[in-house]
Amino acid sequence: CLSGGKDSYAMLEILLALRAKAPVSFELIAVHLDQKQPGYDPTILPTYLQQLGVPFHILEQDTYSVVQRVVPEGKTYCGLCSRLRRGALYAFAEQQGMTKIALGHHRDDIVETLFLNLFHGSRMAAMPPKLRSDDGRHVVIRPLAYVSEQDLQAHADAAGYPIMPCNLCGSQENLQRQAIKGMLHDWERRNPGRIEHIFRALQNIRPSQLADRDLFDFAALSGHPEAPRHSAADWLLGQALPVIVQEG
């Protein structure tokens, strides 16, 4: 999916480089959704893609009017807008027999989504690098999942991509995601590396140390009388590992 933002341009560049060197062959088709936003320039992407020699398809769907009509004043457009875009992409991918849908979400997007779900959804979930859709028909990949937004911005500035701004989301102030982004940037400023540590934590989940009974059978836990005893020094040195026994 090529939105016209810095992330999708960088993703396309990476995928083109991979296609040239990867041990497996694959085809790329750039797909863009024209959402009928005011001020939209329909010539930017076709010109850019033709220069690269990349096949492309422009989908036309007036999601702009839909979200403005349906979303109450003061509420965020992004949730409904993303669902409408995703539906259009899934339908097109199925029609064309495409096996993967590549999206340009980066590391910071993933961490922001984690906190959005924590703060506003009471659930611990983010966006994985690879995902099977709920209906099982589509596979979504995120080639930029391990790349920071700072690095992407620096690359985009150097590359001089013809950026197409999103006037729909950009017209809204006090978006929840923007608030989360500001919070994370403040943390990063005061504690460099904080965002990377949070992202790494998503790759190091310990279900037994959380509270989800669907992921871990806490009710079946019991003590083990024959477990080895550890001294205080063992615990301080981290040499005393807990013994967990689940009764069958």
Strand 101-102 to strand 245-246: parallel, antiparallel, or no bridges (unpaired)?
A: unpaired
How far apart (Å, rounded) are the C-alpha atoms in residues 94 and 74?
35
- How many domains does the structure of the chain reveal? 2
Task: Tell me: do 90 and 146 sit in the same domain.
Answer: yes
Task: Tell me: do 59 and 168 sit in the same domain.
Answer: yes
Task: Tell me: do 169 and 220 sit in the same domain.
Answer: no
How far apart (Å, rounded) are the C-alpha atoms in residues 138 and 101?
7
Task: Tell me: do 230 and 148 sit in the same domain.
Answer: no
Determine, yes or no, domain membership for 209.
Answer: no
State which residues form the domain around 107. 6-201
- Report pLDDT for 248: 46
Contact 81, 169 (CB under 8 A): yes
**Alpha helix (H) residue ranges in 76-217:** 78-96, 107-121, 149-159, 167-170, 176-190, 194-201
- The neighbouring-strand residues paired with 131 are 140
Determine, yes or no, domain membership for 171.
Answer: yes
Task: Tell me: do 54 and 147 sit in the same domain.
Answer: yes
Three-state secondary structure of 193-207? CHHHHHHHHCCCCCH
Which amino acid would we find at residue 7?
D
Task: Tell me the HSE value of 5 on the side-chain side, using a 13 A CA sphere.
Answer: 16
- The neighbouring-strand residues paired with 139 are 132
Contact 126, 202 (CB under 8 A): yes
Task: Tell me: do 113 and 226 sit in the same domain.
Answer: no
95 token code pair: 């029609």
Which of 17-21, 166-170, 183-187, 215-219 is predicted least confidently? 166-170
Task: Tell me: do 232 and 156 sit in the same domain.
Answer: no
- What pLDDT, in 10s, does the model give residues 95-114? 999 989 999 999 999 999 99
Task: Tell me: do 121 and 228 sit in the same domain.
Answer: no
Task: Tell me: do 144 and 236 sit in the same domain.
Answer: no
Task: Tell me: do 131 and 92 sit in the same domain.
Answer: yes
CATH number at residue 80: 3.40.50.620
Helices 78-96 and 63-70: crossing angle in degrees, nearest 10, is 140
In the structure, what pLDDT confidence band is assigned to residue 153 with cuts at 50, 70 and 90?
very high
